[in-house]
Chains A and B, each alone.
Chain A
Amino acid sequence: MAAAAARRVSCSLLRRDHRHLLPLLRPFASSAGGQPQLTVETSVPFTGHKIDPPSRSVDTNPSELLSFFREMSLMRRMEIAADSLYKSKLIRGFCHLYDGQEAVAIGLEASITKKDAIITAYRDHCIYLARGGSLVESFAELMGRRAGCSKGKGGSMHFYKKESGFFGGHGIVGAQVPLGCGLAFAQRYLKEGTVTFALYGDGAANQGQLFEALNISALWDLPVILVCENNHYGMGTAEWRAAKSPAYYKRGDYVPGLKVDGMDVLAVKQACKFAKEYALQNGPIILEMDTYRYHGHSMSDPGSTYRTRDEITGVRQERDPIERVRKLIVSYELATASELKDFEKEVRKEVDEAIAQAKESPMPDPSELFTNVYVKGFGVEAFGADRKEVKAVLP
Chain B
Amino acid sequence: MATTMALRSFGRRTSIAARGFSSSCETEKAAKDGKPINLFSAINQALHIALDTDPRAYVFGEDVRFGGVFRCTTGLADRFGRSRVFNTPLCEQGIVGFAIGLAAMGNRAIAEIQFADYIYPAFDQIVNEAAKFRYRSGNEFNCGGLTIRTPYGAVGHGGHYHSQSPESFFCHVPGLKVVIPRSPQQAKGLLLSCIRDPNPSIFFEPKWLYRLAVEEVPEHDYMLPLSEAEVIRQGSDITLVGWGAQLSVLEQACVEAAKEGISCELIDLRTLIPWDKETVEASVRKTGKLLISHEAPVTGGFGAEISASIAESCFLRLEAPVARICGLDTPFPLVYEQFYMPTKNKILDAIKATVNY
Contacts and interface: CB of A to CB of B under 8 A. Distances in A.
Contact of B334 (A154, A208, A241): A154
Contact of B329 (A153, A380, A385): A380
A236 interface: yes
By Cβ-Cβ distance, the 4 closest A-B pairs, closest first, are: A171-B161, A206-B89, A144-B335, A369-B336
A142 to B, nearest CB: 11
Nearest to B340: A369
B157 A93 contact: yes
Given A153-B333, A385-B350, A93 B159 contact: yes
8 contacts: A153-B335, A157-B160, A172-B117, A174-B90, A237-B87, A242-B89, A366-B336, A385-B350
B234 interface: no
B335, B336, B340, B345, most chain A CB atoms within 10 A: B335
Contact of A369 (B158, B339, B350): B339
Tell me whether chain A's interface is mostly helix, strand or loop, or mixed.
loop
Contacts of B93: 208
A209 interface: yes
B135 to A, nearest CB: 26
A306 B66 contact: yes
Interface in A314-345: none
A203 B90 contact: yes
A172 B159 contact: no
A386 B330 CA distance: 17
Interface in B234-271: none
A34 to B, nearest CB: 49
Contacts of A387: 323-324, 350
Contact of B90 (A154, A173, A368): A173
Contacts of A368: 336
B87 A172 contact: no
Contact of B157 (A92, A171, A364): A92
A388 B353 contact: yes
A206 B328 CA distance: 35
A208 B121 contact: yes
Given A94-B162, A235-B63, 11 more contacts: A94-B157, A155-B335, A172-B161, A173-B118, A203-B90, A207-B90, A306-B66, A366-B336, A382-B328, A386-B353, A387-B323
B118 A172 contact: yes
Contacts of A383: 298
Interface in B2-22: none
Contacts of B333: 153, 369
A94 B115 CA distance: 14
Interface string A84-111: 0000000011100000000000000000
Contacts of B94: 206, 208
Contacts of A206: 89-91, 94
A236 B159 CA distance: 21
A386 B349 contact: yes
Interface string B90-131: 110110000000000000000000000110110000000000
Interface string A359-395: 0000110101110010000001011011110000000
Contacts of A204: 90
B118 A144 contact: no
Contacts of B215: none
Interface string A197-214: 000000110111100000
Contacts of A209: 121
Contacts of A385: 325, 345-346, 349-350
B62 interface: yes
A237 B63 contact: yes
B329 to A, nearest CB: 6
A152 interface: yes
A385 B335 CA distance: 19
B336 A157 contact: no
B90 A157 contact: no
A370 B330 contact: yes
Nearest to B90: A203
A373 B331 contact: yes
Contacts of A173: 90, 118
A8 to B, nearest CB: 34
Interface in B313-332: 323-325, 328-331
A234 interface: yes
Nearest to A381: B329
A81 B333 CA distance: 25
Nearest to A150: B334
Nearest to B350: A386
Interface string B341-352: 000011001100
B66 to A, nearest CB: 6
B117 A153 contact: no
A243 interface: yes
A37 interface: no
A31 interface: no
A308 interface: no
Contacts of B62: 235, 237
Contact of A152 (B90, B298, B335, B350): B335
A144 B333 CA distance: 11
Contacts of A172: 117-118, 120, 161
Nearest to A210: B91
B324 A207 contact: no
Contacts of B353: 386, 388
